[in-house]
C-alpha cells in the first residue's frame, strides 16, 4: 500500500500511559511541594526529565493541564448544586468547593494567586455565575445585603474565600473547621450575622450532600 494512502497510526498506548503517569505524579509531588521542579515530577513518575518534556513543553504547560482537569472536576461537582434558599445555596457552594480542594490546599493557595490565575478563573466561571445568581436572589428577597451591587458582593465573597484559604494553610486548620470558616465567612460577607451564618452552615453540613 502506498504510504501516502495510509491512515495515521493511533497514538501508542504507552505514550498515553506515560502522559497520564506524569499528570498523576505531578499532582502527588505538587501536593507535597507546590514549587517542585519538573525533575521531581519525572522521578515520581519513574521517567526521565526528557520524557516529561516530550509531553509538556514547559512546567507551565503541565500545570495548565492539571488546572484544567481540576477546575473541570470542581465545576462538575458543583453543577447540580442549587437551593431555593439563597443562603443555603451559597453555603452549599462553599461546602462542596472545600470538599474538592481540601486535600490540595497548598497547591490551591499557590495556583489561585500565581501566574495561572487567569486559567483558574476561566475554569471556575460557571461557579462564579452560580454564586452571583444566589447573591442576587438573596438581595432581592431581603436575605442578603442590598446596599452594594450583587456582582461586587459575589466578588468580595470570592476574595474572602482566598483569605480563608491563606489562614487555613498557615494555621494547618482541620478540614471541618476550615469548611465551616469558608461557609460562615462567605455568608457574613453576603450580609448575615455570624450566628445566622453558623446556623446555615450547620444545616447544610447535616443535609444530604453536605459535608460528613
Q: Tens digits of per-residue pLDDT, 148-185?
A: 999 999 999 988 988 888 888 788 888 899 899 999 99
pLDDT, greater one: 210 or 118 = 118
Percentage of the chain beyond pLDDT 70 is: 81
Report CA-CA distances (Å) from 51 to 23, 36, 132.
12, 17, 43
Nearest to 27 by CA among 58, 69, 56, 55: 69
Say which range, 54-68, 115-129, 182-196, has the weakest mean pLDDT.
Answer: 115-129
Give the pTM. Answer: 0.74
Q: Which residues of 181-192 are buried (b: 16+ CB within 10 A; e: fewer)?
A: bbbbbbbbbbbb
pLDDT surpasses 70 at 118: no
Least confident piece of the model among 77-86, 135-144, 190-199:
77-86
The predicted pLDDT at position 69 comes to 81
Cα 175 to Cα 163: distance, rounded to the nearest angstrom:
16
168 compared with 110, residue with greater pLDDT: 168
Percent of the chain with pLDDT strictly greater than 90? 43
- The pLDDT value given to residue 40: 93
**Rounded to whole angstroms, how far apart are CA atoms 190 and 94?**
13
- For the segment 89-114, the average pLDDT, to the nearest whole number, is 74
Pick from 69, 79, 199: which is nearest to 143 by CA? 199
Residue 187 has pLDDT above 90, yes or no: yes
How many residues are given for the chain?
Answer: 212
Amino acid at each position: 500500500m502506498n504510504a501516502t494512502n495510509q491512515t495515521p497510526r493511533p497514538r501508542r498506548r504507552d505514550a498515553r500511559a506515560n502522559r497520564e503517569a506524569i499528570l498523576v505524579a505531578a499532582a502527588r509531588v505538587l501536593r507535597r511541594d507546590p514549587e517542585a521542579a519538573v525533575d521531581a515530577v519525572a522521578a515520581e513518575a519513574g521517567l526521565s526529565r526528557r520524557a516529561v518534556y516530550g509531553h509538556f513543553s514547559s512546567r507551565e504547560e503541565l500545570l495548565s493541564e492539571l488546572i484544567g482537569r481540576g477546575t473541570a472536576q470542581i465545576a462538575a461537582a458543583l453543577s447540580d448544586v442549587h437551593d431555593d434558599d439563597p443562603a443555603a445555596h451559597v453555603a452549599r457552594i462553599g461546602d462542596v468547593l472545600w470538599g474538592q480542594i481540601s486535600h490540595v490546599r497548598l497547591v490551591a493557595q499557590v495556583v489561585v494567586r500565581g501566574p495561572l490565575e487567569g486559567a483558574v478563573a476561566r475554569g471556575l466561571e460557571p461557579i462564579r455565575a452560580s454564586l452571583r445568581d444566589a447573591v442576587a436572589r438573596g438581595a432581592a428577597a431581603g436575605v442578603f445585603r442590598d446596599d452594594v451591587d450583587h456582582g461586587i458582593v459575589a466578588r468580595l465573597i470570592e476574595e474572602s474565600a482566598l483569605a480563608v484559604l491563606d489562614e487555613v494553610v498557615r494555621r494547618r486548620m482541620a478540614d471541618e473547621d476550615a469548611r465551616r470558616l469558608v461557609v460562615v465567612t462567605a455568608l457574613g460577607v453576603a450580609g448575615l450575622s455570624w450566628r445566622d451564618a453558623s446556623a446555615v452552615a450547620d444545616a447544610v453540613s447535616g443535609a444530604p450532600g453536605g459535608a460528613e
